[in-house]
Amino acid sequence: MKRIGMLTSGGDCQALNATMRGVVKALYHNLKDVEIYGFQEGYKGLIHGNYRIMKPEDFSGILTKGGTILGTSRQPFKLMRVIGEDGIDKVKAMKDTYHKLKLDCLVVLGGNGTQKTANLLSEEGLNVVSLPKTIDNDIYGTEMTFGFQSAVDIATNAIDCIHTTADSHSRVFIVEVMGHKVGWLTLYAGIAGGADVILLPEIPYDIDNVIAAIEKRRKAGKRFTILAVAEGAISKEDAALGKKAYKEKVKNRKYPTVSYEIADQILKKTGQEVRVTVPGHTQRGGAPCPYDRVLSTRLGAAAAQMIIDKEYGYMASVVNGEISKTKLSDVAGTLKMVDPQSPIIKETRLLGISFGDE
């Protein structure tokens, strides 16, 4: 009998269920006797021993279902070794649960913080296999994460919808796209949605360059301009501040997000009406797109193969376009950011799309 623990941790995304289904279907199909222990709400369930023994039916009909059937929660990595007010040693508690249930392996689906904890547990001697989840596509060691393409679809649709109303009203529109500290989602949705200006955390902008791009379009007779702005976009001025001073500035910022600050600056400097649209968490919701269903199924199968082969301490990944595996110790602690010198940025610039930096 193989006993496999499974959890989903961090922010949810569209293809978590599709991925769990991929892992479990392959395990059921290839192993005689397997029992899945589903931990509720991420690492919290592992810490508190809150689980249920899953049945094959639990994984049926969930390929197209967004969210996660196990529930999720954010358990910050930096607090994992900190004993809180409840007096619980979280790392010890997780190991205890694992050993008490006599698990053969723990399957972890999550983003960057989740991968760091997965690596910690692996270093603590548990058999861990992980899978790369996030709409941000910022996990190091994989070219693609599941959830990303589904979120690109939604953010692109938001920009598409803005086009018609922006045209009718001759307005400047900002669509703020998620992505945390990286710009992948904004870059892809911005290109796919035909945005005129794309602002990414990796390429600090100068508001005067942004305004110049808007003015250029106006002079060319264009009735509107659409800006795709990453929630983590940063001005050159703010980028020069250093991490601590910038954090402090953001804390005291009178605008809810960077997009509203940019909108106000454009209004003040040009008198042009600007509207901000924030699709927010809709980008993480709904059904996974077909690309993600395929990716999740393949990554799930790869994770199952690792379990069958007893190859632990890896994340199922995409390397050079192929399904692969990457050591958790290589994944943990590094963000995969957009390279400002990469071909996709150069190609986008060739079209005259502005990144606000020049």
Instruction: Report yes or no: 273 and 83 within 8 Å, Cβ to Cβ.
Output: no
Residue 182 Cβ, how far from ligand F6P at the closest point, in Å?
9
Residue 350 phi/psi, 5-degree rounding, is -60, -30
Q: Residue 174: helix, strand or coil by DSSP?
A: strand
**x-or-dash string of contact with ligand F6P, 196-215, rule CB under 6 A:** --------------------
Residue 61 Cβ, how far from ligand F6P at the closest point, in Å?
26
When asked if residue 325 is in the footprint of ligand F6P (CB under 6 A), the reply is no
**x-or-dash string of contact with ligand F6P, 99-128, rule CB under 6 A:** ------------x-----------------
Q: Is 292 an annotated catalytic residue? A: no
The token pair at 34 is 């397997």
Q: How many residues does the chain have?
A: 358
Residue whose entry in the numeric block shows the structure tokens 């979280």? 90
Q: What is the DSSP string of 47-106?
A: HHT-EEEE-GGGGTT-TT--S-TT------GGGTTS--TT---HHHHHHHHHHHTT-SEE
Report the Cα 188 to chain-centroid distance in Å: 13
| Exposed/middle/buried for residue 137 (C-beta within 10 Å: 0-12, 13-18, 19+) | buried
CB nearer ligand F6P, residue 180 or residue 293:
180
# residues contacting ligand F6P (CB under 6 A) = 10
Position among 6, 7, 11, 217 found at the interface with ligand F6P (CB under 6 A): 11
Rounded to whole angstroms, how far apart are CA atoms 198 and 175?
10
Residue 95 Cβ, how far from ligand F6P at the closest point, in Å?
27
Rounded to whole angstroms, how far apart are CA atoms 155 and 252?
28
Residue 49 Cβ, how far from ligand F6P at the closest point, in Å?
25
Q: What is the DSSP string of 191-246?
A: HHTT-SEEEBTTB-B-HHHHHHHHHHHHHTT-S-EEEEEETT--BHHHHTT-HHHH
**x-or-dash string of contact with ligand F6P, 14-43, rule CB under 6 A:** ------------------------------
Residue nearest to ligand F6P (CB): 178
When asked if residue 190 is in the footprint of ligand F6P (CB under 6 A), the reply is no
Binding span for ligand F6P by CB under 6 A among 22-30, 87-95, 131-139, 153-161? 131-139
Question: Which residue among the candidates 136, 138, 153, 292 is catalytic per the annotation?
Answer: 136
CB nearer ligand F6P, residue 5 or residue 113:
113
Task: Identify the CA nearest to 314 among candidates 151, 166, 122, 181.
Answer: 122
Residue 16 Cβ, how far from ligand F6P at the closest point, in Å?
12
When asked if residue 58 is in the footprint of ligand F6P (CB under 6 A), the reply is no
When asked if residue 356 is in the footprint of ligand F6P (CB under 6 A), the reply is no
CB nearer ligand F6P, residue 138 or residue 261:
138
* DSSP code of residue 354: B
**Percent of residues in the chain assigned helix, strand, coil, to nearest 5:** 45, 20, 35
Binding residues for ligand F6P restricted to 150-179, rule: CB under 6 A: 178-179
CB nearer ligand F6P, residue 284 or residue 293:
284
When asked if residue 142 is in the footprint of ligand F6P (CB under 6 A), the reply is no
Rounded to whole angstroms, how far apart are CA atoms 188 and 344?
10
Residue 121 Cβ, how far from ligand F6P at the closest point, in Å?
21
When asked if residue 180 is in the footprint of ligand F6P (CB under 6 A), the reply is yes
Binding residues for ligand F6P restricted to 225-284, rule: CB under 6 A: 231, 284
Position among 8, 134, 149, 297 found at the interface with ligand F6P (CB under 6 A): 134
Instruction: Report yes or no: 263 and 227 within 8 Å, Cβ to Cβ.
Output: no
Residue 111 Cβ, how far from ligand F6P at the closest point, in Å?
5
For the annotated catalytic residues, the residue numbers are 136
Residues forming contacts to ligand F6P in the complex (CB under 6 A) are 11, 111, 134-136, 178-180, 231, 284
